[in-house]
Structure 1
């Protein structure tokens, strides 16, 4: 009845009466007018007070959340870094914290992009109301430490942990070094911090771990050495063996020695490489358990079951109460719309160290599986401001959501980049408008299954040494061995050619070069024999009388020439024929050189009995003439052979002349035993050699 009367009065429906009643009516009309005038402003004022009224029921602030966690346990490890710092490491942090000697509260969190570490610790201390050492570890480093009401060199300890350890030392080792310095006291901590800072200017700490690329390099080097070194040994030994065979030298080592050495070398490399390259992990991160990897998803899913908008309590607040209420209203309206449905908004940072390795698609799929309700799942990152939208089971055009979502909504603009909250409230409101306008489909759509995240057990584990680039390294080693052996052979050939050219310089016949080589080719013997014999014929001059002087220089030269011509049947050209045996050629060379020496006034009675091609002998000596046993013989020796007989008696058998061709037959017999011809008389002197030639030819 009062309402009806008031409405009637407001409408001006009055009855006649006294003046006092008229004044009352006027007063009521005035009140009605004022009510009508200010009625639109009343809701606005109420809306303005909504955030203050809602503050009592809003989730706790970031500092209050951490204070509650530290009240339960003085060490809090976030569930957002399981790949780097699993929550299971909390007892280890607690054990180290006791070493500081003061009450210590530790927060292990992701990087705080918009909140200063010192301000956060101060706010947490104010909320917790307990004095002590407050430490903030962001990722892997001690980012901030402050002492409240206790004496602790926090700044010095943080400096030491920063400069004394490499960047990959890990959070546990960094916090352990921090606690160690805290326990030393203020004076020692300050000195240590100054020393660490000064040392870091000259030399940074060496890294403690290697990465996958370093392991690939180790594998490549191991494979290269494993094939390159043994193959190079075999190729080099084969080349040396061929050179010795060409020179007529005896084979001094059994055939199994070279392959055995190569096999032992390969085995040694294969066994030593894992000891030298013994790294197995690429970082100090521990392998998380399945519970560590699922903790954050379960936390977010539990929150979304209670409220479709979940704001991460570990991150700074990016939506105020009014924006949250506005978002709730938009979500409610979309759910009631035709073709709409539930919308779940997760305001959670996505980091590479998280269970989903920073993949919002994978995170949204995991949350959807835990919530168990189809809908649109929105992942808004409060750290970088990105917004990702995924349709799981609603009749919405998923391609439209993926392809046509405006960049201003998904990534923001320059204004959003400058804002601490990335204007997420306005952009989420724009997202709801975009969802309202998204085309509907006849059947529910769903996102394709995202690629799985890397296995946490393998993420920080190095591949085996004998894997990755080890196999290409085997081919590289073989190629390098062939290349190096080819280069070595080429250089050896060039040096040998230069030496041969130098040795071709004309020398005195009496002092022919005493080459250490014990073998000579048949072609070289033919060339040398022809050159020496023709030179002797050209230099020879008969005495004035018809008969040669047997006792003069011409007499000895004539005897040598006569014997040499008997060997070639009077034709010097026979020395160039292939059927002339090497023993005959050597005898011709010895006789021709002796004759030339006689003409030059350097007549000698004996040439080297070890190798007649060495030249004149300087004496006689018992020398070892066989590598098997200790058989010796008195032989005239040249100067180098005499030195060898004194310094290395076992080297004389290698210096004995080896006749090429069938005469030597590959035997170990010395030249004077390998033939029955005149050459066997060389050790007995030039005169005996001449007589032997004449006896063989039947000339007396």
Structure 2
């Protein structure tokens, strides 16, 4: 044996086997030394494991972070989970994107109160999502929600500002389809009716009440065109609107100028025609001025009687979007500020955009040189920002303590990623901030936000200084000024002095043209023939004789040729006796011949007139007219025509109820060429007139 027995006994008592090292020292028990050695080995191994696994842990984000940012749920899954969290049989989910329509909590209470009257389980969703765009997919969301929830009752999806609602019933006998169809016929509902209004009518129909609209579209009478025009006219001249007083003043000036111009044209026309009577100018002037004054005073009195309102008072109350926080209801905005307070990236549960890479984007936002927070969410016109992501971004920044920059990623009308940004407390120029995100083009929100980060961090900042006013915050409401100044604005005087009188002249000229056309059709040139009735000839004869008398009065004694006096006397005598169309034609010819003699034409008394139409004037040559045999005096124009055309120019008169050529009449006027030949036969004309 190598070891004595005593040595062997000691070895067994001390607990050490043969070949093992001796205890560390005489002062430390052997079992404690072994325990210490083993603990040190375990600590070293643990430290080595931690050091080798830490980089991998830092490189891989936490599973819950990835799920929050990149794990998306369908609208059906989201709403089914939300409804499942509500009391069974009385579940109402109101999306807070309806904050722009009013208090979301109050709307939820109203929907509970309405649908509880059905006495059946109800599951109501009030939300603009999923929307109508192609990026949301097709088909209603309720069937999938019903399958996931697997409960009987009525299911309703209420959307704001649309006629597209959805109602489904499972396990109960309710007229869902009929109620849904009848919504579009109910006169109480419009396109922009709120969800509570739609719900009230829907519950009424589901209960079987008022199954036919009392005053539906079928029973309503559409207003006529005149009523619509009058309503629009009153809106255009409403002094409480932006240009109402100006429109009223312009219209008043136009009406007054038209009346003034009409008075002037009337006096001028009567004077030219020689029909102006005594005091006519005075009477017409006074009447015109009175009517023109009333055309201004009446609208002015109406304008001043309308109470103030509209744009006249709007400027006194600033627009909501012109002052921070830029929205009327801040409940949802405050919640979003809280969401982004603990993490720089918030992703809404209902987003149609690709969420890939958002977790990495959140990490990059954490390392940004300026405090940038991003939100990925869907926008709706019913939210507090009216669907404008820039308004939401500035509202978030305004409600955040300390300097901040918010970037909102959403989709535009074409389903593409759109960015908007707002800042506070960094002294950033609003226009530069808008440019930094406006032109970013990317397929996903993560790519868009990361592409905008370099431009955002490069913006000049001045921490502590207020940022410039957002581009949308400028209020265009301003004091429009006194109504009287607006009434007498830019349009009143031009219309009163220029446009109105010109319009009067145009209307008067159009009326003259119309009258001339009617006369040509009824008694003038028809089918190439010239016709004149007794009425037209009487006006012409009166005009010519009136001018003749004025010229005679203006001429001195002894300055009027005897032939002219004889023609003038004959014309006046015949005109004062019963006459027909031929007599009036002769009076006109005599008066014109007398005026020519008074004006100094020595041969006027002996010069014949055109036989085709005596109103053509002098006839220096002779020719044939098929109406009568022989050669007759003709004017140069008639003589230059072919026989058929010349015959068509023969003046026809209405005698005895029929139109006849004047040359075919067996009368002294025709035989004497209207007194131009055989001057002694003027007495015969008078005798014939007496007969």
Superposed CA offset, 1:194-247 (max 9, x none): x98xx99xxxxx99x999999889888755532222322232133324444653
Distance in 1 between residues matched to 2:493 and 2:269, nearest whole Å: 28
Q: Does 1:310 align with 2:343?
A: no
> How far off is 1:487 after superposition?
2.0
Structure 2, unmatched stretches of 5+, are 1-36, 223-227, 312-318, 525-530, 571-593, 601-674
2:254 is equivalent to residue 228 of structure 1: yes
- Taking a change above 3 Å as real, the CA distance of residues 3 and 492 of structure 1, as seen in their structure-2 partners, is same
Which whole-Å CA distance do the structure 1 matches of 2:346 and 2:422 have between them?
16
1:78-157 → structure 2 map (5 Å cutoff): 78-80=95-97, 87=104, 90=107, 94=111, 97=114, 101=118, 106-113=124-131, 114=136, 118-119=140-141, 122-123=144-145, 131-157=153-179
Q: CA deviation at 1:344?
A: 1.9
Q: CA–CA distance in 1 between the matches of 2:309 and 2:175? A: 35
Scaled by the length of structure 1, what TM-score is found? 0.50
For residue 687 of structure 2, what is the aligned residue in structure 1? Answer: 603
Aligned to 2:291: 261
- Contact 2:166-2:180 at 8 Å conserved across structures: yes
Q: Distance in 1 between matches of 2:514 and 2:450?
A: 85
Give the alignment of 1:554-633 within 5 angstroms. 575-576=598-599, 599-600=683-684, 602-603=686-687
Q: Which residue of the partner structure matches residue 300 of structure 1?
A: 336
Report the alpha carbon displacement of residue 372 of structure 1 after superposing the two structures with TM.
0.8
Q: Secondary structure at the match of 1:135?
A: strand
Superposition deviation, residue 109 in structure 1 = 2.9
Cα distance in 1 for residues equivalent to 2:393 and 2:124: 30
Q: Is residue 327–residue 429 contact of structure 1 (8 Å, CA) maintained in 2?
A: yes
Residue 137 of structure 1: CA displacement? 1.0
Partners of 1:236 and 1:528 in 2: how far apart?
30
Task: Assess, with a 3 A threshold, how the Cα gap between structure 1 residues 262 and 368 changes in structure 2: closer, same or farther.
Answer: same
Residue correspondences, number? 494
- 2:377 aligns to what? 348
Measured on the aligned residues, the alpha-carbon RMSD in Å equals 6.9
Alignment of 1:67 with 2:65, yes or no, is no
User: What's the counterpart of residue 450 of structure 1?
Assistant: 470
8 A contact 1:109–1:136 mirrored in 2? yes
- 1:477-496 paired onto structure 2 within 5 Å: 477-478=495-496, 479-490=498-509
* 237 and 442 in structure 1: CA distance in 2 versus 1, 3 angstrom threshold: closer
TM-score by length of 2: 0.50
From 546, 550, 575, the equivalent of 1:520 is 546
Q: Taking structure 1 as reference, are residues 441 and 465 closer, same or farther at Cα in structure 2, changes over 3 Å only?
A: closer
Structure 1 residues 531 and 146, CA gap change in structure 2 (3 angstroms): farther
SS at match of 1:227: helix
Counterparts of 1:159-308 in structure 2 under 5 Å?
159-162=181-184, 168-171=191-194, 178-179=202-203, 181-184=205-208, 222-244=248-270, 247-251=275-279, 253=283, 256-266=286-296, 292-308=328-344
Q: Distance in 1 between matches of 2:364 and 2:292?
A: 78
Number of the residue aligned with 1:610: none
1:380-391 matched pairs, under 5 angstroms? 380-381=409-410, 384-389=416-421
Distance 1:318 1:259, change over 3 A: same
- Could you tell me whether the CA contact under 8 Å between 2:263 and 2:288 is conserved in 1? yes
Provide the C-alpha distance between the structure 1 equivalents of 2:114 and 2:370, rounded to a whole number of angstroms.
Answer: 49
- Distance in 2, Cα, partners of 1:601 & 1:532: 18
Q: Trace 1:548-559 onto structure 2 (pairs within 5 A).
A: none
Q: Is the 8 A contact 1:310 1:345 kept in 2?
A: yes
Among residues 438, 445, 455, which one is paired with 1:424 in the alignment?
A: 445
1:232–1:481 contact (8 Å) kept in structure 2:
yes
C-alpha distance 345-258 of structure 1, shift in aligned 2 (>3 A): same
Alignment check: 8 A CA contact 1:248 1:520 kept: no
- The separation in 2 between residues aligned to 1:55 and 1:494, in whole angstroms, is 82
5+ residue gaps, structure 1, are 11-31, 201-205, 282-286, 417-422, 541-570, 578-591, 605-615, 619-700
Q: Which is worse superposed, 238-247 or 46-55?
A: 46-55
Would you say the 8 A contact 2:250–2:487 is kept in 1? no
- Tell whether 2:369 aligns with 1:367: no
In structure 2, the CA distance between the partners of 1:149 and 1:55, relative to structure 1 (3 Å rule), is farther
Report SS of the residue matched to 2:407: strand
Q: Which residue in the other structure is 2:652 paired with? A: none
**1 CA distance for matches of 2:55 and 2:207?**
62
Deviations 1:264-307 (A, max 9, x none): 3445556789999x9989xxxxx999984323322212322343
Q: How far is the alpha carbon of 1:79 from its aligned partner?
A: 4.6
1:450: Cα distance to partner? 0.9
Equivalent position SS for 1:146:
strand
- Render the CA deviation track for 1:402-440: whole Å, top value 9, x for unaligned: 767796xx331xxx3xxxxxx3345546666x48x9569
Distance in 1 between the 2:167 and 2:383 partners? 25
1:524-553 deviations in whole A, cap 9, x for unaligned? 54399968834859999xxxxxxxxxxxxx
